[in-house]
A and B are shown apart, each in its own frame.
Chain A
Amino acid sequence: MPPREGTYGLLAEFDTPGDLVRAARQARQDGWRRLDCYTPYPVEEAAEAIGFHRDKVPLLCLIGGLLGGAAMFALETWISVLAYPINVAGRPTYSWPAFIVPAYEWTILWAGLSAAFGMLALNGLPALYHPLFNAPNFRDGATTDKFFLCLEALDPKFDLAESKAYLENFRPVSVVEVEY
């Protein structure tokens, strides 16, 4: 694939999450679909405002947890019943209460790992490059105290001059054009 060129989108900067959410909600309502919010901490309302849809992380987490628990329980059962049966104080070799704790630990471990790595994978991370980092105010503010709304050039409604004026309506701190 040849490297992309031209405009990635228009980036509006806001000082408060409230302003961002209102701008994002309005943009979505006005028919924008290729748009994204960038905030220094999770702002759930921003996700809702741009038509956030359900993702598969909870499902991955659940499957990971169940598989982890089942795997450890099966391992313990196999060791105690088949591979190395041993008489512990006359208890049956299949002594499930003793298996619960490691199985539980593995449930948590695998649920956690599946959620974390599943989230990264579904986000397309790790990524080596993202055009937004071309904007200096984004580099400085996106992880500290600024809230950004980006209208992407891929959206059919996108027009450099008109969209810029549209974003100015929301009275952002600034609107900048971002190159690929």
Chain B
Amino acid sequence: MAHESHAQTHAKTLPADLGAPALVDGWRNRALVVGVIFTVIAVILAFLGQSQDPEHLGWDHFLRGWTMGLMLTFGFSVGGLALLMVQYCSGGKYGLLLRRPLEAMSRTLPLVFGYWVVTAIFMKRLYLWAQFKGDADTAAAVKAGILTEIQKHCIDFKRPMLNPFAFVWVSVLCFAIWGFYTWRLNALALKRDAQGPETTPFWIKKFENISGLGIVIYAVTMTAASIYWVMSMDPTWFSTVYGLLYLVEQGFQVLALGIIVTLALSKAEPIRTLLRQTEQHDLGKLTFAFVMLNIYLAFGQFLIIWSGNLPNEINWYLDRIRGSWGVIITLDFIFHWLIPFSVLLSRDIKRNKKRLTFVCQIMIFAVAFNQFWLIEPSFHDAARNLHFSWGILEYVAVPIAMMAFWIAYFCTRLKTRPLVQVNDPHLAEILEPEHAHA
């Protein structure tokens, strides 16, 4: 056929070396330096915060910042796994460009598990419910004025779920499941590449079958993790959309990072040859969809709770609006929705590497900013009372350090494989010139 012969004559040739370029080593080294510097800053801030009257919360803030770093790196790692599975099911040429970065993100799970172990060890400083063993303990705490009646009721009622034993085992089970899918998808991807094109249909089906169920299981385990790790910081509140909110947030941050990484890699081979504007534009559009979905769920949750105005629900929002927290949520709205939405509307910006990268950086910052708004007001000392302390700066220092080490680890993972999967029909398509996308 004329079309095919044309495509062959004008197609670009696949670079011989598909490995990650040397610039990835540079990123890793820079990330390690940043990680070390911010670790030192974080420790200094913890001591400063600990000595500050009247709260002495330096190390508590350190742990809260740690939880934020955990949620961010967890979002990249397991969110990367989830987007990988979604992409295997949905197909799409854009996905071929993201596949290896997503695999590398998923293979950072051991580091995230390490981060989580710290949270689990210091559970009592982060989770109110972890401090009381039984009904007698909570009753005594109410008498001593440590707990309110409502908190006591909620902690007692939720104890079958919110107890240290369940926290540890549910989390470990979740990590085991994510680990299994990470291992399976990553191992099979290498096997797939080692085989010839005649096996392609088999592999497409195979990956679809694994990923389809994987997505469902991911949604359930994600919900459990987000409830245990963040939502339960305030034992009185619950929201059924909470897991879904985190799920969308992960898509949001993973796409943003995926775009940043792909565009940065396109400065060198092999991605320089493989990245076309068409796919970059597609990635921008998909990110825009997640920006919209995120505000849809976040505002939906707020609207329902605002409409109900029930005392067991509305306090969660009042804790996060009153006492200057309104400023934070307004800024959150601006960073998280207004800026990405307005900017990504533009077709030109989605096609401009520099500007698209900049928007994605803002989006990742917004995800972190949103975590601050979710985590800090859960604690008695900060609810309805946004105030400065040295400790609050831990929300900057600790997550930056954790993210930096995560990025360094991610870079080493990225280096271990060719940057593109070759046993895939999309590869021939993205090598064609752009006008042949028929």
Contacts and interface: CB of A to CB of B under 8 A. Distances in A.
A17 B436 contact: yes
Given A43-B435, A46-B435, A100-B299, A15 B3 contact: yes
Contact of A89 (B6, B309, B433, B436): B309
B289 to A, nearest CB: 14
Given A18-B433, A19-B6, A98 B438 contact: no
A3 interface: no
Interface residues of B toward A: which range? 10 to 19
A17 B2 contact: no
A5 B67 CA distance: 77
A45 interface: yes
Contacts of B299: 100
Interface in A59-116: 62, 89, 91, 97-98, 100-101
Contacts of A100: 299, 303
B3 A98 contact: no
Given A18-B435, A21-B435, A97 B6 contact: no
A15 B438 CA distance: 12
Given A19-B6, A89-B309, A97 B303 contact: yes
Main secondary structure of the interface of B (DSSP, over half): helix
B438 A17 contact: yes
B25 to A, nearest CB: 37
B6 A98 contact: no
Interface in A1-24: 15-19, 21
B303 A17 contact: no
A19 B5 CA distance: 12
Given A43-B435, A46-B435, A16 B6 contact: yes
Which of B309, B433, B438 gathers most chain A CB within 10 Å?
B438
Contacts of B10: 18
Contacts of B302: 97
Contact of B435 (A15, A17, A101): A17
Nearest to B10: A18
Given A46-B435, A89-B309, A16 B303 contact: no
A21 to B, nearest CB: 5
B306 A97 contact: yes
Contacts of B438: 16-17, 41
A100 B306 CA distance: 13
Interface in A29-48: 41, 43-46
B7 interface: yes
A18 B6 contact: yes
Contacts of A46: 435
Interface in B407-438: 433-436, 438
B90 interface: no
26 contacts: A15-B2, A15-B3, A16-B2, A16-B6, A16-B436, A17-B435, A17-B438, A18-B3, A18-B6, A18-B433, A43-B435, A44-B434, A44-B435, A45-B434, A45-B435, A46-B435, A58-B347, A62-B345, A91-B309, A97-B302, A97-B303, A97-B306, A98-B303, A98-B307, A100-B303, A101-B303
Given A18-B7, A44-B434, A44-B435, 17 more contacts: A15-B3, A16-B6, A16-B436, A17-B436, A17-B438, A18-B6, A18-B433, A18-B436, A41-B438, A43-B435, A45-B435, A46-B435, A91-B309, A97-B303, A98-B303, A98-B307, A101-B303
